[in-house]
Amino acid sequence: EHEIHSLPVLEGEELVGIVTSTDFLREFSQGELPGHQAPVSRRMTKTRDYVEADADFDTAKMEIVASGLRYLPVMKGECALGVISNRMLRKAKCRQLLAETLRGEADSTGTSPQVKDLVKTAPTIKPGDRLATAASLMVDYSVQAVAVVTQGHRLLGVISEDDILQAALAGFREAELGTLARG
């Protein structure tokens, strides 16, 4: 609800660990939390906005801001390659600046990294697949969002960890209401 992705775990006043959204995704992917069987199409964000694979990081950042989305598909022609986020772009830009600083000069090749370099092994998912499958892909590939595509790999939308966590929360609330109604 508050877009917080990690919380401290306390035993009394002693910090004993941290629970993250990835921990919840891992549990959700195992199919034991409410809502895991729902199809991806029910929770995905439909979008026609995207960024081209050969775009540089600054162009991609502008596209994300212009779209108003947190996650933006990366396309090569009509084929969805993956999904990027502001967080991914910030990290990549920092790595690029660090590398340039360590070399003591800007990239001597005259080319800047492209968005496609961020999604080389990104998974995609079909709209009829289960949310548990999407959660499993996000955990396995360490990504925050996955492109939802047709059989022909045409973009339909994006499913994010936030979408899955909202589905889990809704499932918990439904289960709680069912328990209250029976009790």
Taking only the tens place, the pLDDT of each residue in 43-66 is 999 988 999 999 988 889 899 989
pLDDT score, position 179 = 64
**pLDDT-derived band at 169, boundaries 50, 70, 90:** confident
pLDDT score, position 52 = 92
Among 24-33, 38-47, 152-161, 174-183, the least confident range: 174-183
Query: 180 or 174: whose pLDDT is higher?
Result: 174
pLDDT digits (tens, 9 = 90+) for 123-135: 899 999 999 999 9
Q: Does residue 158 contact residue 124 with C-beta atoms inside 8 Å? A: no
Quote the Cα angle for 168-124-160, to 5°: 30
Positive or negative torsion for Cα 74, 50, 134, 141: positive
pLDDT digits (tens, 9 = 90+) for 101-146: 887 755 455 556 788 888 867 789 999 999 999 999 999 988 889 9
